[in-house]
């Protein structure tokens, strides 16, 4: 059930091919995807009465059918494509037999999230979180979004970002396999621990800034930074998660209409013009900072409607103050996050320098060599 775009990104060399499941009129079908000139062709396969068929060739096994096509270099009409090299399964693709689902942890945007165990390629087993999606019960656009999130997370390798292990796309339910954050959610931690020391809260804030610094250096805009999307590792280190709305390789994006958006976390330019950028993530980080030092006891702008919160964000010189008892540095950082003009607003490097003065920010990825 690999989306067409994912396959087209994989196949780069003329004649590279793979066989994949797809859906046609809500029925499961199989096709060969093959790189041909500057395009990728998707050729349907037939299966009936124990025989696999492509045009005028029928064989009892798919392997035999593919072998004939490759060995004879037989052009496949109408475009005349020729199969040359089977594309190997990527190292981040796992079979379902490698994954043991243990218990349900919750429900995400696409379906269930479960605790599981993953048998890695080196034979070692590790606890993981497994996001599951039923391919036949979702629209292709949702399936594509599921794979886009996985594709983005493959880029990340940082202790303050939830780690991506891989996907299991060859059967249902389709799975994304992620690091299991054994400390649970930030919101649950705050709910279960009263009077958390300020030093601990500052650690959470610094972890979040470090993770966002890493993302910003890679031109990733999270677009949904909030306490609800922060998890904790085994040493209570904060990890940023939920990249379903994130975009990469853009310094800015604009949405014509804002639908089902978390108003209280949005920057003025997002509310006015639908603009998202690293600087709008900085604004959201200021709100996250408030959540952390309020110990996630309530949503931002407590007791206010979304409309009232929007008025504060757009019109007030300072939309919110640090919760009572916060160290002075919290208000200092919030103030530079809530500067109305994006160009004058702090970036994550500056925020991290204030919270952890001796720390070097995460480095930018190396430029590809010619």
pLDDT tens-digit map of 269-327: 999 999 999 999 999 999 999 999 999 999 999 999 999 999 999 999 999 999 999 99
Q: How far apart are CA 215 and CA 99, in angstroms?
A: 29
Identify whether residues 232 and 218 lie together within a single domain. Answer: yes
Residue 368 in any domain: the answer is no
Q: What is the CATH number of the domain that holds 22?
A: 3.30.505.10
Identify whether residues 106 and 233 lie together within a single domain. Answer: no
Identify whether residues 251 and 319 lie together within a single domain. Answer: yes
Identify whether residues 166 and 229 lie together within a single domain. Answer: no
Residue 304 in any domain: the answer is yes
* Residue pointed to by tokens 């949702």: 142
Identify whether residues 211 and 226 lie together within a single domain. Answer: yes
Q: Which tokens hold the place of 155?
A: 């880029």
Number of domains in the chain: 3
Q: How far apart are CA 224 and CA 205, in angstroms?
A: 16
Residue 312 in any domain: the answer is yes
Identify whether residues 162 and 221 lie together within a single domain. Answer: no
Residue ending a domain, among 70, 88, 118, is 70
Identify whether residues 123 and 208 lie together within a single domain. Answer: no
Identify whether residues 22 and 159 lie together within a single domain. Answer: no
Secondary structure (DSSP) of 84-141: -EEPPPPTTB--GGGEEEEEEEEE-SSSEEEEEEEE-TTS-EEEEEEEEE-GGGS-HH
Write the CA distances from 350 to 100, 139, 343, integer angstroms: 43, 42, 13
Residue 326 in any domain: the answer is yes
Identify whether residues 209 and 336 lie together within a single domain. Answer: yes
What pLDDT sits at residue 341? 97
Strand, coil or helix: 270: helix
Residue 109 in any domain: the answer is yes
Residue 361 in any domain: the answer is no
Compute the Cα dihedral for 103, 107, 112, 118 and give only its sign: negative
> What range defines the domain where residue 283 resides?
184-355
What pLDDT sits at residue 369? 45
Q: Is the peptide bond before 148 cis (omega within 30 degrees of 0)?
A: no
Q: How many Å is the maximal CA-CA distance in the chain? A: 77
The answer to the question of whether 187 is labelled as a binding residue is no
Residue 108 has pLDDT above 90, yes or no: no
Residue 6 has pLDDT above 90, yes or no: no
**How many DSSP H helices and E strands does the chain contain?**
10, 18
Residue 84 in any domain: the answer is no
Identify whether residues 201 and 334 lie together within a single domain. Answer: yes
Q: What is the CATH number of the domain that holds 293?
A: 1.10.510.10
Q: Which of 39, 67, 195, 224 is catalytic?
A: 224
Looking at every residue in the chain, the average pLDDT score rounds to 92
Q: How far apart are CA 22 and CA 44, in angstroms?
A: 9
Q: What is the CATH number of the domain that holds 102?
A: 3.30.200.20
Residue ending a domain, among 162, 179, 196, is 179
Phi, psi torsion values for 43, nearest 5 degrees: -110, 120
Identify whether residues 146 and 239 lie together within a single domain. Answer: no
Bridge partners, residue 154, by sequence: none
What pLDDT sits at residue 136? 55
Residue 85 in any domain: the answer is no
Pick from 101-110, 234-243, 266-275: least confident = 101-110
Residues 6+ apart with CB under 8 A from 363: 217
Q: How far apart are CA 209 and CA 252, in angstroms?
A: 20
pLDDT tens-digit map of 22-47: 877 777 889 999 999 999 999 999 99
pLDDT tens-digit map of 111-155: 789 999 999 988 899 999 999 986 555 677 777 888 888 889 999
Identify whether residues 170 and 219 lie together within a single domain. Answer: no
Residue 1 has pLDDT above 90, yes or no: no
Residue ending a domain, among 179, 198, 232, is 179
What pLDDT sits at residue 362? 86
Strand-strand pairing, 16-24 and 85-86: parallel
* Strand order through the sheet with 125-133: 99-107, 112-119, 125-133, 174-179, 164-168
Phi, psi torsion values for 207, nearest 5 degrees: -60, -45
**Residue 281 annotated in active site:** no
Pick from 3-7, 198-202, 274-278: least confident = 3-7
């Amino acid at each position: 059930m690999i989306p067409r775009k994912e396959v087209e990104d994989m196949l780069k060399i003329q004649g590279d091919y793979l066989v994949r499941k797809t859906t046609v009129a809500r029925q499961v079908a199989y096709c060969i995807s093959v790189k041909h000139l500057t395009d990728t062709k998707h050729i349907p396969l037939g299966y009936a009465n124990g025989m696999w068929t492509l045009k005028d060739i029928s064989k009892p096994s798919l392997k035999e059918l593919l072998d004939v096509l490759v060995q004879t270099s037989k052009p496949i009409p109408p475009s005349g494509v020729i199969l040359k090299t089977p594309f190997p399964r990527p190292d981040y693709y796992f079979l379902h037999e490698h994954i043991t689902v243990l218990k349900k942890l919750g429900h995400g945007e696409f379906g269930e999230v479960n605790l599981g165990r993953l048998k890695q390629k080196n034979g070692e087993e590790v606890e993981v979180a497994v996001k599951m999606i039923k391919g036949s019960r979702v629209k292709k656009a949702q399936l594509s979004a599921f794979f886009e999130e996985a594709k983005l997370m493959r880029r990340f390798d940082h202790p303050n970002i939830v780690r991506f292990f891989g996907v299991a796309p060859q059967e249902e339910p389709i799975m994304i396999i992620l690091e299991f954050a054994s400390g649970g959610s930030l919101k649950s931690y705050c709910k279960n621990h009263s009077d958390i020391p300020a030093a601990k809260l500052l650690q959470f804030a610094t972890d979040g800034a470090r993770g966002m610094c890493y993302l910003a250096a890679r031109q990733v805009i999270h677009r949904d930074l909030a306490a609800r999307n922060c998890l904790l590792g085994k040493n209570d280190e904060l990890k940023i998660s939920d990249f379903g709305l994130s975009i990469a390789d853009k310094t800015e994006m604009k949405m014509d209409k804002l639908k089902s958006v978390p108003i209280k976390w949005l920057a003025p330019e997002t509310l006015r013009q639908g603009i998202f950028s690293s600087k709008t993530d900085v604004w959201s980080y200021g709100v996250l900072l408030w959540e952390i030092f309020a110990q996630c006891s309530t949503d931002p702008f407590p007791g206010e409607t979304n409309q009232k919160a929007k008025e504060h964000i757009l019109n007030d010189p300072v939309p919110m103050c640090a919760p009572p008892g916060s160290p002075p540095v919290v208000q200092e950082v919030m103030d530079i996050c809530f500067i109305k003009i994006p160009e004058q607003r702090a970036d994550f490097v500056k925020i991290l320098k204030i919270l952890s003065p001796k720390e070097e920010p995460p480095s930018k990825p190396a430029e590809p060599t010619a």
